[in-house]
Structure 1
């Protein structure tokens, strides 16, 4: 498909769309036995799920939820790992016209309570290992009618997923949802305040056609493996919408942690053809002995979440024969820019804009900047936004409006474009930290630290790290009489892990007598960040 044809397709008016109907049910009718998921757990138990099974299981869940009073427009929070029930639940939510709000199982009790209050969710579906946290937040969320748990543990006062479905009928056709109707709610961290609710509508699903076609390079016979946590928007990209839009099957390895050697063995064992992971995963892979690895039918690899080192790309290419192709997009979008198979990539570059996306580096007045001049990465939204751009930050009209300037959507990232049109990432325009593919807002970590009696002030910023790209570093002023030592560092790290998601804790802590501030008293994180990175060379 040519760029102009793709742009026409993107701009076509589609008034109603439901992914469960248009993709899942269509395959179930036309190719009932076609594989949708190849799933394996830590013990080696394997299951192959057809589109027919996926359709029927999601219909049974939809019937069960409807019987419990869950209705179109309600928000359902989903806290599961890579259980098969995650895919059934996502499909059921889309089928019913619910708003699915996936989250990582690392969320703390406080995080969950915040999400329940912010979304007004009436239903929460989670793996049973979350039961203790869920029980604690249930009493403070009066609008929450049902908690449904998946797993073998008996969770008193909560509904059991499989018991709920025992007599449910698979007779729930997809609702004829409007394209503009809310479908997904992802929480995304910012510089200030708690995470924002990023809302996507139903047509967002179809927009991932470009993600699957141009970046993931998927076709009807592919088996695609994405290592992203199910709680992140990247799972919507590569573990859900894009592969099925292209007729590809999804590979899932459900394990409690990540083992690089074990993961490398999966490529040949299951004939995986395409692979997507955060740069941290590739950095861990290249530390293994790759010379004896059988890569099987693997033909295409992509990386996303943060820039990937050229050195890692080179080592992986020598071992596997495959170039890792960097791609760029956001929670707020589909793929915007990437190193596609149709081009010769430049190692370390973000690639070029995807067909249908007018991406540019602009100045403060919205003017396109000349080659090699740093500016804001922006998407042209005039006369109207491309498919796949988020609908709003729910309840925050000012922050939604602040993302748009002079006919452009401002991504919040900085870059340059070279003479050949390749984009080169420079930095975040704000203080958000990108670590191992996780997006971490400094405010959340600072707030957690300030809950500890030993902390008077704190400032959180990024710090360079060879494996994770960057990590969270906290600069801390302690209370009078408190001894600033290694023992206190460990106490503070454990404290942050206990009050917020563990991935947010500061891996580095430096005690200081005072923090740099503006004349109005605002902490200058940028000064700390620049010093931290310049000291590291």
Structure 2
């Protein structure tokens, strides 16, 4: 057994009774007045740099401004900002006050925001001046702060500059709500995933054991500000280790991605598989990536061909990982450990996992290996407090097997004898076709290896003979035409790449795939299309 494995076995959580991210993390690093926390750069290439000390002072000023307008500990505040420094300042200010930020992406519509405000009973909002109109008519928002010119009834973010840079941090108990993320399910309205302060503390776990960050590191995570991934890989995780963060507010241009990696000497790059899939097509010759130590990815499986090509370009192996908004990162490939193609890795220290096995007798077991729904043993400080104002849905995520409680993820996996976890699909996404159980991810992994395929999604559609038919929706790379000949070619490719019974018997071509605002595939929409 390796030293790392021994460490995993003896690891124990030591959750503090209270935790205030602003006071316990940002203030601690701010003791070094020169320690760099943040670099922001825009589409024009203009950059600004912020030390931890500057972030701490700006957050305290904003906290005073919000408090002067009536925001109190425990109140919910919508934070809808693009990739600009005001986002970090607003998030740190909220944690300093003990308020509960609700990060939102700027693409949300007025109706999206109305739902979030009403469902959470939010009383405050911080957003760009261009988006203020989206909040018209939401009278519950008594505190309104605009970045930019403030319309009538709004206060300018810049007004915080006149406030004191001293603000006594709130005492936030480990189980007190600390952040609220809205995430779409396959059906129904978005769920309000509520994390307590212990989660913000625990997310340092992945910063150490997945991102491998230290105070000398510089990370660039391209996630949007409304995603929970931004919490672990842009804010709470990196700053827990005193690392600096690059924040780029500009469009996705593959060549520009490489230029920024070189210009800012990024040591850890975090990007979704969809993005990496585009980057590996770029000519990166002449780009110096010698500072890049690690590349990580989460949110969707990274196919083996992406891993191979990215290693050729960057010299780093993509460390795929798995997490949910309800748990954040729990299973990852880790620096210095063997990577099995197609695997999401092994559980992080302090995370015990199993697969749910329902026996013919009706009894259930939580097995260390095999196939089934992924379970996470409770208690675990990374796991959410619950769904906001939805105790029934919250209760449904916890099951008791034997003498232990488990968080049921709703994701199907296979765990091999070495403890490596392979994602096979959502529990409700498994396709039952002519007696075969087919995971859509397996078919997608086969199709994506074809040179014509940029992106694809597979679902089961009703079929009178087979029960369900495997159907694929395919987005093509430039230069390919979606015709009958290409359908035949893709089907033959799938048969040759994976078990023949899994090949898609129907293929449709699409300009884009339906996704949630956080980038997750909406298979239910494809099922409805049939």
Shorter-chain TM band: 0.7 to 0.9
Task: Map 1:67-466 onto structure 2 (within 5 A).
Answer: 67-135=68-136, 139=137, 141-151=138-148, 153-162=149-158, 164-255=159-250, 257-364=251-358, 365-369=363-367, 371=369, 373-381=370-378, 385-406=379-400, 407-430=405-428, 464-465=473-474
Which stretch has the larger CA shift, 91-100 or 395-404?
395-404
Task: Map 1:21-40 onto structure 2 (within 5 A).
Answer: 21-29=23-31, 31-40=32-41
Secondary structure at the aligned position of 2:425 is classed as strand
- Distance change >3 Å, CA 96–CA 6, structure 1 → 2: farther
CA distance in 1, matches of 2:527, 2:106: 32
Deviation at 1:206, TM superposition (A): 1.2
Task: Give per-residue Cα distances to partners, 1:436-487, cap 9 Å, x unaligned.
Answer: xxxx9x9xxxxxxxxxxxxxxxxxx99554689xxxxxxxxxxxxxxxxxxx
CA distance in 2, matches of 1:264, 1:285: 8
Deviation at 1:18, TM superposition (A): 0.6
Task: Give per-residue Cα distances to partners, 1:91-117, cap 9 Å, x unaligned.
Answer: 000000000100110101110010010
- Considering Cα pairs closer than 8 Å and 6+ residues apart, tell me whether 1 or 2 has the greater RCO: 1
CA distance in 1, matches of 2:476, 2:344: 19
- The residue aligned with 1:58 is 59
Where do 5+ consecutive residues of structure 2 fail to align? 431-439, 445-456, 460-469, 478-509
- Distance change >3 Å, CA 13–CA 222, structure 1 → 2: closer
Task: Give per-residue Cα distances to partners, 1:17-60, cap 9 Å, x unaligned.
Answer: 1111111011112x121001111111221111001001000000
CA distance in 2, matches of 1:231, 1:288: 28
- Distance change >3 Å, CA 131–CA 292, structure 1 → 2: same
Which stretch has the larger CA shift, 125-134 or 240-249?
125-134
Secondary structure at the aligned position of 2:366 is classed as coil
Deviation at 1:157, TM superposition (A): 2.7
Is the Cα contact below 8 Å between 2:198 and 2:381 reproduced in 1? Answer: yes
CA distance in 2, matches of 1:346, 1:503: 25
Deviation at 1:6, TM superposition (A): 6.6
Query: What is the number of residues matched between the two proteins?
Result: 453
- Distance change >3 Å, CA 13–CA 109, structure 1 → 2: closer
Task: Give per-residue Cα distances to partners, 1:356-398, cap 9 Å, x unaligned.
Answer: 1001222145423474x420011011xxx11111001011111
- Distance change >3 Å, CA 44–CA 290, structure 1 → 2: closer
- Distance change >3 Å, CA 38–CA 20, structure 1 → 2: same
- Distance change >3 Å, CA 274–CA 73, structure 1 → 2: same
Which stretch has the larger CA shift, 210-219 or 38-47?
38-47
CA distance in 1, matches of 2:331, 2:521: 31
Compute the RMSD of aligned alpha carbons.
3.1
Deviation at 1:333, TM superposition (A): 1.1
CA distance in 2, matches of 1:207, 1:282: 28
Task: Give per-residue Cα distances to partners, 1:402-441, cap 9 Å, x unaligned.
Answer: 1111121111100101222211100011369999xxxx9x
Where do 5+ consecutive residues of structure 1 fail to align? 443-460, 469-488, 509-524, 533-537
- Distance change >3 Å, CA 11–CA 270, structure 1 → 2: closer
Is the Cα contact below 8 Å between 1:27 and 1:52 reproduced in 2? Answer: yes
Deviation at 1:132, TM superposition (A): 2.5
- The residue aligned with 2:17 is 15
Is the Cα contact below 8 Å between 2:70 and 2:143 reproduced in 1? Answer: no
CA distance in 1, matches of 2:471, 2:105: 22
- The residue aligned with 1:514 is none
Secondary structure at the aligned position of 1:174 is classed as coil
CA distance in 2, matches of 1:526, 1:60: 45
